[in-house]
Structure formats: structure tokens, C-alpha cells
Amino acid sequence: MGTSVGVGYSVHKNPEVAAKEAALKALEQQGPGKPDFVFVFATVGYNQQVLIRTIREIMSGAPLSGCSGEGIITRGMVDETNFSVCVMAIRSDELKFANIRVTEIAREPDLAGRRLAAELTPLLSTDSIACFLFIDGLVFDFDPFREAFEEELGDKKLPLFGGLAADNWILRKTYQYHNDEAFSEGISCILMSGHGSIASGISHGCVPVGTKRTITRSKGNIIYEIDGLPVLEALKEYTDEDLKTQWNKLSLNLCLGFKTPEPIREDYGEFVVRYMVGKDDRKGCVTIQSDVQAGTEFWMVRRDKELIRDGLRLISRRIKEKRKGQTPRFVLHFECMGRGKVVFREQEKLELIRSLQEDVGIDIPWIGFYTYGEIGPVAQYNYIHNFTAVVAAVY
Amino acid sequence: MEKNDRNIRIAELQQEIEALSRQVKHLIKAEGQLYQYQEQLDAQLKEYKNLYELNKELNKTFDIRKICRYAVSSATRGLEFERAVLLERAADTGAYHACAVEGYYDEEENSSVGALVIEQKEPFLSPLFAGSEYLICKTDTKNEELAKYCTKLRMDEYFIYRLGAPSAPFALLAVGNSTEKAPFYREVSESPATLLSIGNLVGLISSSIEKYIYSRELEMALEQERLAKTKFRNLFEQASISMQIFSPDGRVLKVNRAWEELWGIKPDAVRDYNILRDRQLSAKGIMPYIEKGFAGEPVDIPAVLYDPSETGFAGQPRWVNAFIYPVKAEDGCIHEIVLMHLDVTEKVNAENALRENREALEQAYAGLEIKVQERTRELGEANNVLRQEIIERRRAEEALLASEKRIRDLIEATSDWVWEVDNQGVYTYASPQVSRILGYEPEDVLGKTPFDLMPSEEAERVAGIFRNIAASQQPFSFLENVNLHKNGARVILETSGVPFFDASGNFRGYRGIDRDITERKKAEEELQRAQKLESIGLLAGGIAHDFNNILTAIKGNIELARIFLPPGDKAAARLAVAEQASARASDLARQLLTFAKGGAPITSTTDVPHLVRESVELALRGTMVKGEYCFAEDLLAVEADESQLSQAINNLAINAVEAMPEGGVITITAVNESLLPGNSLGLPPGEYIRIAIKDQGIGVPAELQERIFDPYFTTKERGSGLGLAITFSIVKRHGGTITIESAPGQGSTFSAYLPSRKEAVTAGPEAEHQEIIEGSGRILVMDDEEEVSKVAAEMLLYLGYQVETVKDGSEAIAAYRQAMEEGDPFAAVIVDLTVPAGMGGKETVRRLLDMDPQAKVIISSGYANDPIMSEYADFGFKEVIPKPYKLNELSKALRGLIARGEAVRA
């Protein structure tokens, strides 16, 4: 039988109609037979529960995982509106998918890592290929999670791919999907095993501007001071807008570039970019998605369209280099929401994504979403990224 | 120096870095704005693209339903509002009805909003009709009218735009969001961008709807034009008049079928014909008319003989009248010329023949003139005769009309209903009185039979009678029949009728009158009932009288026997029982008399509580009903015939008991009441006592309360209908009245009002009655009943008197005279009131008093209720003693004469 994959999408605003439209299209492309696994990404305008339940019904109860994004990506199509959904149905006797979930991850990310590892361990086998993680992007600190997770797994470490769930700048609630359920503050995890492999590529496309800055006070992933100034004061220099009311979009223009750790610098480049996912006006602090210590140097970085284009070409080149002459069974694509409509014109964006897709291969089932943070391994190290594209081609 | 240079260079570099840093910050700011503009531009482009696509779709359709759907779909998908409703104006009411909705994914919400109707008069719409382009309702609105529609539209914030002119917009477009989903949709705000976006959409949709309306009107106009053309073509083709259509330059364009038939020429043959070049027409002088017509003026062309063969066509010459009608375009230019021919060949030939005939007739006319004059004279005479006949006939008609009016006036003036039925018994006429008598209008009755107006049984009965009458075709009179008034009431009619026949003697039906005799019948029934009552009364009175006579003998003998028995004799007890039985028999006789004659009460001051309690307890004996009494402490006495009053109270108590077959309590109260002048009871003002008997029975419906005191009226299966009637009669005779208060299920209260008196009740009757007063002297007893005479004599002897008995008045007078003559006159005479076939007490006393004005005559009778018994003094009697009397009563009566100082003569 091999592996047959179908993808469908819909931008209809009625959750039931949209779910049916996308799921039926995916089933039609997949071909006969109940899917073995279903990926779903959708934006948050929908009643998420209705959406997921309807898709699951159409998929005859096949295991389902996914999350909400700022937009969706399929082959030849990107949509960053409040109402879009994409579905990938996979039927395979080569690949196996086991999905699990963990909830209530907000307060203790390390505990969440341990709990997830504990759930995952019994499912691991020698042919386990990778884990896909879809995590609530509003409450998550990746570093303690990863450390605890990998520590718990020990030598059974796996490459992690995925993204942080988004909610279209509302910053109120993101959703993770697990079978019939749409939930928040959790992790939806898929263990992919079997006869297969993944070739991936990651790139950001940001350049440092200005002089070096130093974090002078921080705790975990919270920054309080930059160069001895309250962080929000320091950031005001970079905008004429009111930070209190215009934070969402402005924060995208104020990315922080940290020196890349040595082991991954060669593959990744000079800077790791961090997006300030939240701020607290009362406490006068901002939050990023990994830990940072006081004394850490950084540069303000800006997104560069040319670098982004070049980075995507690099991704496709790397993927193709790894699997010369082979065609991926399907591709999962996690694109930072800071690289979507907030930077590119609609047509530019579409052409960019199409170009990537064509470079990787013609007619390959492709699905992805715009994230609040991307997860992908660099030089064997699992890492969280901002302002990147993480593309995982499954062979 | 090098160090200095380095320092200077460092300072310069630092300045450059700072400058660069500033530039970087500017760059970041500028880049941020650029991205923002880009996004806005994309959003606008998307919106315009959507509008462009919408416009393309709208241009493709003239389907209003599609346009409405596009409107709501664009508002939600294009403008990013959560929900949209398009409401279309109803042509008849002006109300706005939802015709397209989008964004309602809950079935209930969808159907609820889909059925939404906004009345044109809704106050919140008035700004739109006054010229505003839109209404806006935000979540914090203070406008209650706008807020009310949040619920109806299922939007927590919304715009309503009008589509079309303010005076009567042809549609309203509502767009908005629910609070729950608002973050994912375009905000309802008056920002320039939002207003511009909605304005663009509304403009596009409005223009599309206007285009639709225009196109619909255009379509209708075209359809009308098409119909007109078809109609004209049909008219042209089917016209019986020959018609040709020419171009303005004279070429023939079209001919119709009538033209073909008239001339016998095929249309193809005249393809090259040009009327303006027709030499034949020129030769006949017709061309100027033709030219005038072609110049644009409608023209009548005089009859002309046209021969087609002269113009090169086959066909017969025809005389034709022609008419030219130029058809002009709107700009006044001549479009076509229609030429119509009317074939007048036959007419011209006929006129020619007529002319020839006329000439021949004119020649013959001279001879005929004389004959005509003669005939004219004859006709004149006949005419005079006819005129006379007409005058007479008119008089007769007038007389007939007057007669008819008289009859009609009479019919309408009479209180009877005049009718006519045909030989099938169906009403063919009914005078207006039917409305008064039966409640139907005359036209309601026509077509019905008399039996349709009767109850079914009556209809059957009367139909049987009428069949026999109709078979005999004889008049009939006073046929009583029961009919039903329109309101359901029974109406008794007395019908009389006579048959009528047509001129050939065939039976055609009956004419007659119906008289309403309902009231008369009621009166007759009442009379019959009264007569019946009277006869029963007479019978009862006679029985009571005889009964009292018998009882007098029985009671007197028992009493004497008890006296004569030695003390302790066992027979005394038996006699006492017999005496009690005779006392009850005596009561029965009294009741009979009361019922029978209702005579004037023989009154005495009566102790009401004692009498009432006794009468009620008598009725309650052996029943499951208990009596509770409440008498006012200061209750006054009444002047009453105790036996009658007792009977009245007894009847009321019996009535109460019968109203409570399952048992219960009756409450009897007696209180003093002062009635003022004009009181509602209709009684004279004064002091009364009210005796009320209240039961817990089923009650009396209001409609029956008026009749409850009528004789023979009863609601009980075994009731005589006399109890309450007698009670009413007794109370009335005592100068009082009786009322009822009742409601179904709440029991009844009967209240008897009797005039009271302040005098104390005299000593206990029982004590007085028991006293036996002995006397002496001679007493004459007159009674036709021997047993009565005997026992009276025995009793008087026991009292110490000497007694002589006689059988009637004659003997009494003779005995009295003899005693006077003998010097041993009677001290008193006890006479019976009635003596069959002899002189009774009334005549006797008159004669005795004539003889001896001092005669002391006591009247005694079984007719205790006879007026003479109550007004005995007026007739000359000194005392009265009703039968049956006891020893003490007899002694009291005689003693009464003594007490008034008229000692019994020894």
C-alpha cells in the first residue's frame, strides 16, 4: 500500500461547512480507506470544538492532532485570516503515528516536559523517527521544557519538530487538538515511527542593526532591563507608537538577536532571533520563549526580505541534498507569523511559499501553519526559533 | 600624538555609531510603518478585488434573490463582518422582511433572523428616512430602540444601511458582530476606512438593485410593446377590412388577408407596386387624397370604382371607400402609411337600385295618396277608440294599485302575520309582522315551509293536519301550532287560511294569517289552573268541615270519657293517645282549610320563638337535618293566626329539609327590623320581625327564583308545588312578605317579614286552654250533625249548663222564641255556621237578634277559616268557637261572655 496523503483546506466561515469542505477534499486526495492519522491546523475565528469534532467524524475517528495558527499553509495557498482550516489525511503501512497530549503546562514547563516524556516513553521503539509538538504559544517556556523532556527520555532522544499555537494577535487563547478535543495550555504530541525519515531545513532571515545591547536584569525567560534601562523604556526608542496599545504588531519589529551557541552556529548562522511574545506594563517586563541570563549581549535585528528569500532557497537546497532524487511523502511547514503578511505583500508571500514548494518537489502534499514560535533541530540539538521557517520533509 | 589621533578617531567613530544608531532606530520605525501600510494596502486591494468580483457577478444577473445573497455574502466574506441581513421592503405594507442572511450558523438563530420583519414605522428607523445613510449600534449604546434590535438581529454591535432613496428605501442592510466573536471580525466603528468599505458595498448593491428595478420595468415595457405589436399584427392579419401598409415613399410593405380576399391578388404580385405612381388613381382624381395622407394627415377617400386589371393585376373591379392613416414615430416622422379599403360594391349597387325604385315609386305615389288619406282617417278613429281604452285601463290600474296599497297597508298595520304558501306549502309571501312574532325577516322565511319553523314533533303533528286540509283544498281556521322564535322561545300561533287558485282553477296554495296567541294561552292556562285550585279548595274545605264535625264528636267524647273514668283506669292512657291523634287530625283539617280558602287569619298576639321552634322541629322529625336557632332577645311579638303561621314556617322548614337530602343544618333566626318608607320589599313602613330559614342545600338558580312561589311550580320530583305558594299566601295575608336569597351550590335563605307589635305575649296558651270554667243556665245548641249536638250537650252538661239541641236555624228560632215566651230564655245559643238545606248560623243570628237584641249567640264551625269566623262580631255573634273544640275551649267561650259583664242568664 505504501503511503497515501491528501490535503484539503477551506476558508468558509461556518465551522461545520469549513470542516467538511477541508476534510472531504483531504480524503478525496488521500484515496480510499480510513486515514491512519490526521493533521489539522486552523485559525481561531472558528468554534474550535465544532470544527475538530466535524473533521474527526468525517475521518471516521482516525487519530487527529494539530493546533490553531495565525494562518494556514497548503500547496499553492496561504491564508492568514481568522477563518481558515487545513487538513492532511495520511494512510500508510510504512509510517506509524501515535498521538498523546499533556495539559496544564503553564506554570511548570519542566514538569510538562517530564510528563510528556513519561507518556511518550512506552510508545517509543527502535523505528521511532521524530516527534511533532504543537504547544500553547502564550504560556510556554521552551528551554526548561526541553531540558526536562530530554533528560527524562535519556538516550532515547528524538528530533522535535513543530510550532507554538497562535491566536491571531488576540493573545488570549490558543488551541491544541487531540482527537475530538480542542484544548488550551497544553501540548499535542505525535510520535512518528516506521520506515521513513525526515529531512528538514531552518532559516530565519534577520540581520542585526545598531550597536550591541546587554540584558542587565532578567529571570528565566523574562527580561526586566536593557543596558540598565527598564526594558519598556529602552524599546520606546524604536517606535513612535504607544507600546501599550500597539504592542502586538510593534513587537514584531523589535526582535532580539542573541549570539548563536557554538554547536549550531555553523548550521544556523550568527544569531538566534527571539520574539517578545508578551509584556507586562505593571511589572515593566517582556517575555521571550527561552531563558536568558543577565549580562547576555544581543542586537536588535530586523527582518530582511532578501535574506528570507535566500533562507528559503537554502532550506530547499538542504532538504534536496539530504535526499537526492527522492520525493518526500509529505511536508510539514512551520512558518513564523512574523514572516507573513506583516512583512510581505499577499502576492509576494504566496510567490515565496510557492517557490519553496516547487523547489522541494512538484505535487508534494504540504501542510503547515503560521506560528508563535517554531521548533526544529539544528545540528542534533532541538531548538525553538523565532522568525524562522522550519520545513520537515517526510520521506 | 598617535594616542591623541586615536582618541579623536574613537570619538569620531562613537559619534558615527551614535548617528548610525539613531538612523537604525529611524529605520526600524520606518520599516514598521512600511509593513503596516503594506498590510493596509493589501487589505484594501483585497477589498477592491472583492468589490470588482462582486460587480462582475452583479452585472451578470437580474435575479434579485441573487443580488440579496451577494450583498450579505460580501458583507461577511469581503468586509469581514460576522453577520449580515438584507431586509427587503414589502410593496404592500412597507415593512422590511429579511430575505437573505449570512453568518448565522446556529439553526435556531438562522431561522429566527430569517423571519425578521421590521415595521417601517419603527421609531429607530426614522433617521434613515430623514436622510441618514446608516444607523450604528455599539455595545455600549444608550439608545433602547437600537439595543432592542441587538436581540432581534443577534448582533451585539451593528450598522443598518439603507439601500435606495430615504423616502422609501427598497432594502436595509444590517451588518455586525456578536460580542463573543467580535475579535475575529471587523469592528463596528465609524472609522473612515470602515465607512468607506461599507459605503462602497452599499453603493454597488444599491445600484445593482436599482438596475434590477429599472430592468424589470424595462422588461415590462418591452413585454407590453411586444404584446402591442402582436396584438396589432393579429388585428392587421385578422381584420375583416382590407388593409395595406406602405412605406413613406409609396412602396407596399404588407397586405392583410382581407385585402387578398377583396382583390383576389397574391401579396407577391404587388411587391413592386407603388401607390404614388398608380395612374388609375390619378385618372380618377384620387391621387390628391393619397398624397395628403402620405403627407401625414389622416384622410377619408370617397368611394371609387377601382379596377385592378387596369393596373396590371388580375381581379374584379370593386367599389371601395378608403381611409389613409399615417403612422408616425415619436419624433413626428412618418413611419408607415396604412390604407384601409371598405368594399362598398354591394352598397353602391343597392343605392343605384334604390334610386331606380324611388323613381318608380314617385310615379306611383300620386295614385296612392287618396288611399292613404282614407286609411289615415280610419286609423284616426281606431286610434281614438284605443286611446279611450287606454285611459280606462289606466284608471283600472290606478284603482288596482290603490286597492293593493290599501291591502298592503292593512296587512302591515295588523298585528297578525299574513302569509302565502304555494301548493307545496312553501312560503311565497310573508308580511313584516313575522319579524315581530318569530324574529325572522320576511326574506328569511321565504323558501321555508311552516313546519321548518316548528319543533320537530309539532312539525310532524301539524304537517299531518295540514296534509288533510290541503288535500281537501278547503279553508281552515284557528289551527293552533307551536313555533320556535329565532331566539329559541316557543311561540303559539293560531293559523287560519284559505286556498287560492289560478285562472284555470288549479290549486296554487294557501293565503292566511297567523296570530300570536302565546300570551292568551298562558292566561288561559293560568285561569284553568286557578279554577282547578279553587275547585280543589272547595273540595278540601268541604272535607275539612265534615272532618271537623266528626272530630268535634270524637274529641268531645274522648275528653268526656277521660273525665268520667275513675282515676287510675287503664283506658285513660289509651284515650289520651286517641286525643293526641285527634289533635293531629284537627291540625290536618286546619291545613286543608288554609289551603282551600286561604281565609282571613284569626289572629292573636303570638310568641314567635315558641311557634317557630315547634313548627320547625315538627318538620325535622325523622330527618338527618338539625335545626339551629337564634332569636333576638328583644324580639317583638306578632299578631298572627298561629295555626296558619305555624303551617307557613313548617312548609319553609320542609322545603329546607328536602333541599338537603344528605342531611345538614338549617339555621333559623328571628330579628326585629324597621322598614322605612319606600323600602325594597314594598311593605308599609313600620316595625317588623324577620324570620329567616337558611339551608345548606343545592340552591335555587336565579331564573327560577321569581317563580318559586307560584302555585304548582316545583323542582322536586314529588313536589306538589303548593307548599311555598301557601306559605307566601299566609305571610301576605298577615300583612308581610317573603323573600329568597340563593345561589346554586350555596344554599337558600327564605325570609318572612311580619308586622310586629310591642305588646307582650299573653299568658301561655296552654295554661289558659287547660282551665275549665263551670257555669249555669240554659244553652241552646244548633247543629245539623247529631253527633256534634250530642257531644256538645254532654260537655255543657258537664260544665253545669242545661242544654237543648236543635238541627237548624228554624228550629233554633222556634225554640228560642218558645223559651222567651215561657220566661225561661236561653243564656246563650251555640249555632253551626252552615246547615245543608237549612238555615245556617248567619241567618239564624240575624233572626235571633231581631227577636232578642240581647241574644248571646256563639258561632261554631268546621270552616274555621270562613270570614264570618274571624269577623264574627260584625255579624252579631258574641263569641266564636271553631270546631273541633275542647271542653276548656267551650267553657272559655261561654266564660268570655261572662267576663265582658254579660252574665249568663240563669
pLDDT at A98: 95
pLDDT band at A193 (very low <50, low <70, confident <90, very high): very high
Specify the 3-state DSSP secondary structure of A126.
Answer: coil
Look at the block and give the residue holding cell 288554609. Answer: B594
Rounded mean pLDDT, B424-453: 90
Ranking A308-317, A369-378, B573-582, B843-852 by mean pLDDT, the lowest is B573-582
Total residues found in chain B within this entry: 906
ω into B884 cis (within 30 of 0) = yes
**Position B8 pLDDT exceeds 90:** no
Nearest to B669 by CA among B615, B704, B699, B629: B629
Instruction: Enumerate long-range contacts of B558-565, CB under 8 Å, 24 or more apart.
Output: B558/B582, B559/B795, B559/B886, B559/B887, B560/B791, B560/B794, B560/B795, B560/B798, B560/B887, B563/B798, B563/B887
B154: its cell numbers: 443577534
Contact B45 A346 (CB under 8 A): yes
Contact A239 B20 (CB under 8 A): no
**Residue B94, CA distances (Å) to A267, A268, B115, B168 in order:** 72, 70, 16, 8
Residue type, B879: E
CB burial string B739-774: b at 16+ within 10 A, e below: ebebeeeebbbbbbbbbbbeeebeeeeeeeeeebbe
Rounded to whole angstroms, the Cα distance separating A12 from A84 reads: 7
Among the partner residues A13, A16, A210, nearest to B24 by beta-carbon distance:
A210
Among the partner residues A13, A250, A344, nearest to B103 by beta-carbon distance:
A13
Q: Which phi and psi angles does B891 have, rounded to 5°? A: -65, -35
Please write the tens of the pLDDT for every residue from B192-215.
Answer: 888 988 988 888 888 888 888 877
More confident call, B723 vs B485: B485
Answer for the pair A366, A334: CB distance below 8 angstroms, yes or no: no
pLDDT at B719: 58
pLDDT at B45: 83
Q: Which residue of B has its CA nearest to A343?
A: B35
pLDDT at B906: 38
Paired with B775 in beta bridges are none
Rounded to whole angstroms, the Cα distance separating A88 from A6 reads: 6
For residue A109, give how far its alpha carbon lies from the nearest alpha carbon of chain B (Å). 29
Rounded to whole angstroms, the Cα distance separating B292 from B648 reads: 120
CB interface of A with B, residues 80-99, below 8 Å: 82-83
C-alpha dihedral over B632, B638, B643, B645, to 10 degrees? -70
A28: its cell numbers: 478525496
B182: its cell numbers: 467580535
pLDDT at B470: 83
pLDDT at A194: 94
Q: Which residue of B has its CA nearest to A209?
A: B24
Rounded mean pLDDT, B288-301: 89
* Three-point CA angle A105, A108, A114, nearest 5°: 80
**Residue A37, CA distances (Å) to A85, A121, A370, B788 in order:** 17, 20, 21, 131
A68: its cell numbers: 490553531
Q: Which residue of B has its CA nearest to A253?
A: B32
Rounded mean pLDDT, B561-579: 81
What is the DSSP track for B457-497? Answer: HHHHHHHHHHHHHHHHT--EEEEEEEEE-TTS-EEEEEEEE
Q: Which phi and psi angles does B143 have, rounded to 5°? A: -80, 110
Ranking A160-174, B309-323, B657-671 by mean pLDDT, the lowest is B309-323
What's the DSSP call for residue B818?
A: H
**Residue B170, CA distances (Å) to B93, B161, B208 in order:** 12, 11, 12
Specify the 3-state DSSP secondary structure of B517.
Answer: coil
Judged by a CB distance cut-off of 8 A, whether residue A237 touches chain B is yes
Rounded to whole angstroms, the Cα distance separating B74 from A38 reads: 32
Contact A341 B42 (CB under 8 A): yes
Contact A13 B27 (CB under 8 A): no
Show residues of chain B in contact with A170, CB under 8 Å. Answer: 183-184
Rounded to whole angstroms, the Cα distance separating B261 from B242 reads: 8
Mutate to test the interface with B, among A83, A213, A339, A346 (most CBs of B within 10 A): A346
CB neighbourhood size of A103 (10 A): 17
Contact B46 A346 (CB under 8 A): yes
pLDDT band at B770 (very low <50, low <70, confident <90, very high): low
User: Where are the extended beta strands (E) located within B684-818?
Assistant: 686-694, 737-742, 748-757, 778-782, 802-806
Kindly report the pTM of this predicted structure: 0.52
Please write the tens of the pLDDT for every residue from B69-118.
Answer: 999 999 998 888 999 999 999 988 889 999 999 999 888 999 999 999 99
Q: Which phi and psi angles does B185 have, rounded to 5°? A: -130, 175
Ranking B116-125, B650-659, B717-726 by mean pLDDT, the lowest is B717-726
Rounded mean pLDDT, B174-181: 91
For residue B18, give how far its alpha carbon lies from the nearest alpha carbon of chain A (Å). 9
pLDDT at B718: 55
Answer for the pair A193, A143: CB distance below 8 angstroms, yes or no: no
Rounded mean pLDDT, B641-654: 85
pLDDT at B813: 92
pLDDT at B901: 47
**Position A215 pLDDT exceeds 90:** yes
What's the DSSP call for residue B762?
A: P
pLDDT band at A150 (very low <50, low <70, confident <90, very high): very high
Answer for the pair A65, A177: CB distance below 8 angstroms, yes or no: yes
Ranking B144-158, B408-422, B671-685, B687-701 by mean pLDDT, the lowest is B408-422
Contacts of residue A283, Cβ cutoff 8 Å, sequence gap at least 6:
A224
Residue type, A54: T
Judged by a CB distance cut-off of 8 A, whether residue A294 touches chain B is no
**Position B704 pLDDT exceeds 80:** no
What's the DSSP call for residue B420?
A: E
Contacts of residue B721, Cβ cutoff 8 Å, sequence gap at least 6:
B710, B711, B712, B713, B714
What's the DSSP call for residue B838?
A: S
Contacts of residue A275, Cβ cutoff 8 Å, sequence gap at least 6:
A251, A252, A255, A288, A289, A336, A338, A372, A373, A386, A387
**Position B721 pLDDT exceeds 70:** no
Q: Which residue of B has its CA nearest to A338?
A: B35
Contacts of residue B833, Cβ cutoff 8 Å, sequence gap at least 6:
B840, B841, B842, B859, B860, B861, B863, B866, B868, B869
CB neighbourhood size of A343 (10 A): 25
Contact A210 B42 (CB under 8 A): no
HSE-CB for B162 with a 13 A CA cutoff: 22
Answer for the pair A322, A394: CB distance below 8 angstroms, yes or no: no
User: Where are the extended beta strands (E) located within B709-771?
Assistant: 737-742, 748-757
**Position B159 pLDDT exceeds 90:** yes
pLDDT at B101: 94
Interface size A-B, in CB pairs within 8 Å, comes to 67
CB neighbourhood size of B392 (10 A): 10
For residue A218, give how far its alpha carbon lies from the nearest alpha carbon of chain B (Å). 24
CB neighbourhood size of B471 (10 A): 8
Judged by a CB distance cut-off of 8 A, whether residue A209 touches chain B is yes
Judged by a CB distance cut-off of 8 A, whether residue A343 touches chain B is yes
Residue type, B409: D
Q: What sign does the CA torsion over B621, B625, B626, B632 have?
A: negative
pLDDT at B597: 55
pLDDT band at B780 (very low <50, low <70, confident <90, very high): very high
What's the DSSP call for residue B75?
A: I
Residue A48 region by backbone torsions, left for phi larger than 0, else alpha for psi between -120 and 50, else beta: alpha
The radius of gyration of chain A from alpha carbons, rounded to an integer in Å, stands at 20
Ranking A212-216, A349-353, B525-529 by mean pLDDT, the lowest is B525-529
Ranking A85-89, A144-148, B28-32, B894-898 by mean pLDDT, the lowest is B894-898
For residue B209, give how far its alpha carbon lies from the nearest alpha carbon of chain A (Å). 26
**Residue B856, CA distances (Å) to B777, B800, B817, B833, B843 in order:** 12, 18, 14, 15, 14
B87: its cell numbers: 431586509
Nearest to A163 by CA among A70, A286, A26, A32: A70
Among the partner residues B41, B42, B105, nearest to A14 by beta-carbon distance:
B105
Residue type, B651: N
**Helix H or strand E segment including B820:** helix B809-821
Paired with B858 in beta bridges are B830, B879
Contact B28 A254 (CB under 8 A): yes
**Position B903 pLDDT exceeds 50:** no
